[in-house]
Amino acid sequence: MRQKIGRSRPRNAFYAQSGGVSAVINASACGVIETVRKHKAVFGKLYAGRHGIIGALTEDLVDTGKESAAAIRALRHTPGGAFGSARYKLAGIDQNRAEYTRLIEVFKAHDIGYFFYNGGNDSMDTAHKVSEIGRILGYPLTCIGVPKTVDNDLPITDCCPGFGSAAKYVAVATREAALDVASMARTSTKVFVLEVMGRHAGWIAAAAGLAGSVAGDAPQVILFPEIAFQADKFLAKVKSSVERYGYCVVVVSEGVRDAGGKFLAEAGTKDAFGHAQLGGVGPLVAEMTRSALGYKFHWAVADYLQRSARHIASAVDVEQAYAVGRAAVEFAVAGKNAVLPVIVRKSEKPYRWTIGEAPLAAIANKEKKVPRNFISADGFGITAACRRYLSPLIGGEDHPPYRDGLPEYTRMRGIAVPRKLKKPFVI
Amino acid sequence: MRQKIGRSRPRNAFYAQSGGVSAVINASACGVIETVRKHKAVFGKLYAGRHGIIGALTEDLVDTGKESAAAIRALRHTPGGAFGSARYKLAGIDQNRAEYTRLIEVFKAHDIGYFFYNGGNDSMDTAHKVSEIGRILGYPLTCIGVPKTVDNDLPITDCCPGFGSAAKYVAVATREAALDVASMARTSTKVFVLEVMGRHAGWIAAAAGLAGSVAGDAPQVILFPEIAFQADKFLAKVKSSVERYGYCVVVVSEGVRDAGGKFLAEAGTKDAFGHAQLGGVGPLVAEMTRSALGYKFHWAVADYLQRSARHIASAVDVEQAYAVGRAAVEFAVAGKNAVLPVIVRKSEKPYRWTIGEAPLAAIANKEKKVPRNFISADGFGITAACRRYLSPLIGGEDHPPYRDGLPEYTRMRGIAVPRKLKKPFVI
Residues of chain A positioned with their CB less than 8 A from the CB of B307: 180
Q: If one looks up domain A11-149+312-362+398-407 in CATH, what number appears?
A: 3.40.50.450
CA B162 to CA B175: how far, in whole Å?
Answer: 20
Q: Are A64 and B166 in contact, with CB atoms under 8 Å apart?
A: no
> Does position B78 have pLDDT exceeding 80, yes or no?
yes
With residue A99 as reference, give the H or E element that holds it: helix A97-109
Range list of β-strands (E), B230-274 = 248-253, 266-270
Q: Is the ipTM of this complex over 0.90?
A: yes
**Would you call A304 and B180 a contact, using CB atoms and an 8 Å cutoff?**
yes
Equal CATH topology for A11-149+312-362+398-407 and A163-309+378-394: yes
Hey, which residues of A are catalytic here?
151
User: Chain A interface, mutation test: which of B183, B195, B210, B393, most A Cβ atoms within 10 Å?
Assistant: B183
User: Chain A interface, mutation test: which of B58, B304, B389, most A Cβ atoms within 10 Å?
Assistant: B304
CA B290 to CA A373: how far, in whole Å?
Answer: 41
**Would you call A279 and B269 a contact, using CB atoms and an 8 Å cutoff?**
no
B332: number of CA atoms within 13 Å, CB side?
35
pLDDT band at B7 (very low <50, low <70, confident <90, very high): low
Domain segments of chain B as ranges: 11-148+312-362+398-407, 163-307+377-394
With residue B122 as reference, give the H or E element that holds it: helix B121-136
% of chain B exceeding 90 in pLDDT: 83
> Does position B268 have pLDDT exceeding 50, yes or no?
no
CA A85 to CA A53: how far, in whole Å?
Answer: 8
Q: How many residues does chain B have?
A: 427
What does the buried/exposed string (b/e) look like for B185-212 if buried means 16 or more CB atoms within 10 Å of the residue's CB?
A: bbbbbbbbbbbbbbbbbbbbbbbbbbbb
> Does position A272 have pLDDT exceeding 90, yes or no?
no
Q: Return the closest-CA partner of residue A184 out of B87, B415, B261.
A: B87
Instruction: Using CA atoms of B304, B308, B314, B318 in order, give the dihedral in degrees to the nearest 10.
Output: 130
Name residue A249's amino acid.
V
User: Chain A interface, mutation test: which of B172, B195, B249, B320, most A Cβ atoms within 10 Å?
Assistant: B172
Q: Are A124 and A363 in contact, with CB atoms under 8 Å apart?
A: yes
Classify the phi-psi angles of A263: left when phi > 0, otherwise alpha if psi is within -120 to 50, otherwise beta.
beta
Residues of chain A positioned with their CB less than 8 A from the CB of B172: 311, 406-407
A91-145 pLDDT, tens digit each: 888 888 889 989 999 999 999 999 999 999 889 988 999 998 888 889 999 999 9
**Would you call B269 and A296 a contact, using CB atoms and an 8 Å cutoff?**
yes
pLDDT band at B94 (very low <50, low <70, confident <90, very high): confident
Classify the phi-psi angles of A196: left when phi > 0, otherwise alpha if psi is within -120 to 50, otherwise beta.
beta
B180 is catalytic: no
What does the pLDDT average to over B248-272? 81
What does the pLDDT average to over A66-88? 97
Instruction: Using CA atoms of A287, A291, A293, A296 in order, give the dihedral in degrees to the nearest 10.
Output: 50
With residue B118 as reference, give the H or E element that holds it: strand B112-119
> Does position B62 have pLDDT exceeding 90, yes or no?
yes
CA B124 to CA B128: how far, in whole Å?
Answer: 6
> Does position A53 have pLDDT exceeding 90, yes or no?
yes
* pLDDT for A1: 36
- For the beta carbon of residue B305, count every other beta carbon within 10 angstroms: 27
Q: Return the closest-CA partner of residue A22 out of A78, A92, A95, A91.
A: A78
Mean pLDDT of chain B: 93
CB-nearest to A184 from B21, B168, B172 is B21
What does the buried/exposed string (b/e) look like for B220-232 if buried means 16 or more CB atoms within 10 Å of the residue's CB?
A: bbbbbbbbebeee
A176-206 pLDDT, tens digit each: 999 999 999 998 999 999 999 998 899 999 9
Name residue B110's amino acid.
H
CA A418 to CA A413: how far, in whole Å?
Answer: 15
Residues of chain A positioned with their CB less than 8 A from the CB of B296: 269, 271, 277
DSSP 8-class letter at B144: E
Q: Which fold has domain A163-309+378-394?
A: Rossmann fold (3.40.50)
Peptide bond into B350 cis (omega under 30): yes
> Does position B64 have pLDDT exceeding 90, yes or no?
yes
List, in order, residues 6 or more apart from B412 with CB less than 8 Å away: B62, B64, B67, B71, B82, B83
Looking at the structure, give the CATH architecture of the domain made up of residues B163-307+377-394: 3-Layer(aba) Sandwich (3.40)
Q: Are B144 and B114 in contact, with CB atoms under 8 Å apart?
A: yes
Q: Return the closest-CA partner of residue A176 out of B292, B426, B52, B304.
A: B304
The three-state secondary structure class of A371 is coil
pLDDT band at A280 (very low <50, low <70, confident <90, very high): confident
Residue B254: φ, ψ to 5°: -55, -20
Q: If one looks up domain B11-148+312-362+398-407 in CATH, what number appears?
A: 3.40.50.450
A4-29 pLDDT, tens digit each: 444 579 999 999 999 999 999 999 99
Residue A47: φ, ψ to 5°: -100, 135
Angle at which helices B25-38 and B315-333 cross, to 10° = 40
List, in order, residues 6 or more apart from B423 with CB less than 8 Å away: none
* pLDDT for A364: 76
Residues of chain A positioned with their CB less than 8 A from the CB of B309: 173, 176
Question: Pairing mode, if any, of strands B297-301 and A221-223?
Answer: unpaired
